[in-house]
Amino acid sequence: MTRRPAGLRVGAGMAALALGASVLAGCTRSIEGRAVQEGAGGSGYTEEFTRLLTECDAVADPQIAEAVGASAVYRGFFGAVCRWEGDGPGGVVKVTFNWFETGSLDHERSAAEHLGYAVENTTVEGRRALQMRRPGDASSCGVSSGASTTGIFGWWVQYQGGGPDPCEAAATLARLTLNLSS
DSSP per residue, 45-108: --SSS--TT-GGGSS-HHHHHHHHT-S-EEEEEESSEEEEEEEETTEEEEEEEEEETT--HHHH
The pLDDT, as a whole number, for residue 65 is: 96
Instruction: Identify which has the larger pLDDT, 45 or 137.
Output: 137
pLDDT confidence of residue 90: 84
Taking only the tens place, the pLDDT of each residue in 44-90 is: 444 444 455 577 888 999 999 999 999 999 998 777 789 999 998 88
pLDDT tens, residue by residue, 69-80: 999 999 987 777
* pLDDT at res. 93: 95
Does the pLDDT of residue 22 top 70, yes or no? no
DSSP count for the chain of H helices, then E strands: 4, 7
Q: Band of the pLDDT at 172, cuts 50, 70, 90?
A: very high
Share of the chain above pLDDT 90, in %: 49
Instruction: Domain ranges for the chain, please list them.
Output: 55-181
The confidence score (pLDDT) of residue 150 equals: 79
pLDDT at 142: 97
> How far, in Å, CA of 40 to CA of 38, rounded?
6
Q: In what order do the strands lie in the sheet with 91-100?
A: 73-78, 81-88, 91-100, 152-159, 140-146, 127-133, 118-124
Q: pLDDT exceeding 70 applies to what percent of the chain? A: 69
Averaged pLDDT score across all residues of the chain: 79
The listed range with the strongest mean pLDDT (19-28, 106-115, 154-163) is 106-115
The listed CATH number (1.20.1300, 1.10.3470, 1.10.287, 3.40.1000) that belongs to domain 55-181: 3.40.1000
Rounded to the nearest 10 degrees, how much is the dihedral formed by the CA atoms of 104, 105, 106, 109?
130
Tell me the mean pLDDT in the region 21-28. Answer: 51
**Mean pLDDT confidence for 104-131:** 95
